[in-house]
Structure 1
């Protein structure tokens, strides 16, 4: 008896005098009831439409005009298959490496997925991991790569996924350049691996942190309010603060607390949220932070009020 993808192949020894065989199926050991799952004349039977990962039990009875024999020995098997293909494969470049994220297949083939295998388009670099994301190292800076992913269970490997977006790893020293096509303050921006913050067109160290929601393909950029306020204090009125995403996401969010917004208002600052596809400009004076704070009452500090701007 063999169990393969969603089906089981049964075979048994013929019985002298038998004109047919009744095959019984159950998902509980030793629990077989009438009617039989099938009646066949040959000593073999293939049953399909089974659920991968479920153990099935079988017995066979030989029959002729005189009736049915006693039951055969009980046999059990679990049909299974390789997993389905991972989807939504995305790559983010780094220095000599790339981070690959993907969505696990809902169909695991009947057995738990034990690992995933990422292959670079060069074919010579393969990395394994237990879950998304997986970082592929050993890449050559300046070379463009795409990546495919396979899911693996105890039966074997899935087919390769569709290729990811193309990325080009680079070192921090040569990862950026001037945006010569820009007609605004961003002319001097220098690209960062995922996201960065600029003040009047210059990348600044403001403790920027990013949170990636892979399921929704969303990037959230958060800065250290105190660090940015200190830098902002040295600037003149009308400062331009740019939250910039350097990697493509479906949605990008700039998050800041109420205290930082108040400082921006005093400087008559302008917030810019920029991605590879679009740009959103917001004069901070349009945010009535005092009215917003009053809704929470005096017990809530301004730095505990979080504002998010979505692009």
Structure 2
């Protein structure tokens, strides 16, 4: 990285202006690589410290340079997060973000942010994830990605191909529209509120997978639950045992329809879903309170 002596005054103001102009994009890049808004914010802070020392006269394209810095910091952070996840209690799900309707209108961005795809990205290596995100979501050129991940362009092309095949094998493109997803979640919401087991079953695909994330702080299934019958028994049994029916509020989370649940007015969790031609094929319930801090206001995410 081209670094020079500390700068002050006008140079710092220019550096700040460039960084702020791209901040939402840089946050989105970091979040898609990490699945954690808190870690993405840390990466932006680390990236700013490095950017503040750069001689801007050596930078031809501020956007590309900043993406490169953020990518390198995110790769470092991914490796430290891997150790945290090894000690995590139960499944680890991405930190949900409340997003605005314009994110949902950008189908490619919404799909890339969806809980279902973010879960699949967790199965890639750090470098594969960085290459996939930069190429598939942000359309960064192979030459620039190569500089960001310290690989040859030929190697990056191979990594991109391998990562794309890996993702497509585990996550076919979303066959249901946002409207269909909203309808499915509305049916699920009614089934839960009325205690209608059959209606709950009817909205689920037979091979649906449920993943809960309580982080060891709140109760959640310690491993994925597979199959509509098993999921309905678990959820309905839990509601009957507690004697309390949570209220559900339809929301847009990570660009996709979701339900935000509250118990006695207190935030309990976020339920995101993947909807296919046979019904809901994936349910993702984040209850860990440390991951529910981004639900008070929309988070701005962009692709450019």
TM-score (norm 2): 0.27
Q: Mark the structure with the bigger radius of gyration.
A: 1
Query: Looking at both structures, which has the greater relative contact order when contacts are Cα pairs under 8 Å and sequence separation is at least 6?
Result: 2
